Amino acid sequence: MSAGRFSVLIRHLRRQEDDQRALLVDCDAELSRLATDRQTLAQQVAQSAVSCPPQLHEQLLIFTASCQQRDQLLATRMAEIEQRRSNIQTQLVALWRRRRSLETVDARQQRAHRAKLQARQDGSILDSAVRAWYLHEGKELEENPSSVAEYHSEALS
């Protein structure tokens, strides 16, 4: 897989991670709002119980039961959102691992490519040096061809 393709996949995974993080923020905001609603509801029940005249006790019980049902609905909704948040976190971790894995493979391939280019460059420098030496010492090579192998082994060591 080419380096350009890796970078496209890595950018795509980063965007997906950002989307998942945005969903986490939304979940946190919704959980905060629901917690505030539950707290407000509990305060209303407590204030009503304190300030309710005895003749309205029956209406207070109805109001309290209604508030308890609402509180249970809010608690259920919070549990659903917490589960959703947990799923989003799991997906975020999976995306992060996938991206890191691709980044590792990409870095490894880039290092291998750079090493290959460096070896190619070193080889071309060596070839140039051998050619220059050959042109300079061409007459000696015609007389003694084994000196090419000696020169190569000296140059490589």
For the chain, what is the HEC assignment?
CCHHHHHHHHHHHHHHHHHHHHHHHHHHHHHHHHHHHHHHHHHHHHHHHHHCCHHHHHHHHHHHHHHHHHHHHHHHHHHHHHHHHHHHHHHHHHHHHHHHHHHHHHHHHHHHHHHHHHHHHHHHHHHHHHHHHHHHCHHHHHHCCHHHHHHHHHHHC
pLDDT in tens, 53-92: 888 888 888 989 999 999 999 999 999 999 999 999 999 9
Give whichever of 7-16, 113-122, 126-135, 136-145 has the largest mean pLDDT.
Answer: 7-16
| pLDDT score at 23 | 97
Q: Which residue has the higher pLDDT, 145 or 82?
A: 82
Instruction: Convert the pLDDT of each residue in 8-57 to its tens digit.
Output: 999 999 999 999 999 999 999 999 999 999 999 999 999 988 888 888 88
Give the pLDDT score at 3. Answer: 60
Q: Spell out the domain ranges in the chain.
A: 3-156
Between 152 and 136, the more confident residue is 136
Q: How far apart are CA 46 and CA 43, in angstroms?
A: 5
The whole-number average pLDDT for the span 115-121 is: 84
CA 97 to chain centre: 6
Q: What's the pLDDT score for residue 51?
A: 85
pLDDT of residue 5: 77
Q: 40 with 69: CB under 8 angstroms?
A: no
Contact 10, 104 (CB under 8 A): no
The whole-number pLDDT of residue 96 equals 97
Which amino acid appears at position 88 of this protein? I
Which amino acid, 67?
Answer: C
Mean of pLDDT values over 90-107: 95
How crowded is the C-beta side of 148, counted as CA atoms within 13 Å?
Answer: 13
Q: How far apart are CA 86 and CA 77, in angstroms?
A: 14
The residue that leads in pLDDT, 119 or 17, is 17
